[in-house]
Amino acid sequence: MASTENLQKTIERFWDTIPRVWGSVRCVARKNAAQYFDLSLIQFDILRHIRRGAHSVAELAERQQISRPAISQAVDLLVEKGLVSRSPGATDRRYVRLELTGSGERLIAELYIKNRAWMAEKLSVLSDAELETVIDAMQILKKALDPSTR
Residue 44 has pLDDT above 80, yes or no: yes
The string of pLDDT tens digits covering residues 92-114 is 777 889 999 999 999 999 999 99
Q: Which residues of the chain form beta strands (DSSP E)?
A: 84-88, 96-100
* Confidence at 13, pLDDT banded by 50, 70, 90: very high
Q: Which residues contact 64 (CB under 8 A, 6 or more apart)?
A: 42, 45, 46, 49, 71
Region 132-145 average pLDDT:
94
Contact 55, 97 (CB under 8 A): yes
Contact 99, 84 (CB under 8 A): yes
pLDDT of residue 2: 81
10 Å CB burial of residue 101 (0-12, 13-18, 19+) is: middle
The Cα 133–Cα 146 span in angstroms is 19
Residue 77 has pLDDT above 80, yes or no: yes
* Confidence at 90, pLDDT banded by 50, 70, 90: confident
Residue 6 has pLDDT above 80, yes or no: yes
How far is CA 20 from each of CA 6, 110, 126, 149, 150, rounded to the nearest angstrom? 21, 25, 18, 25, 27
Percentage of the chain beyond pLDDT 90 is 73
All structural domains of the chain, each given as residue ranges with its CATH number in brackets, are 4-149 (1.10.10.10)
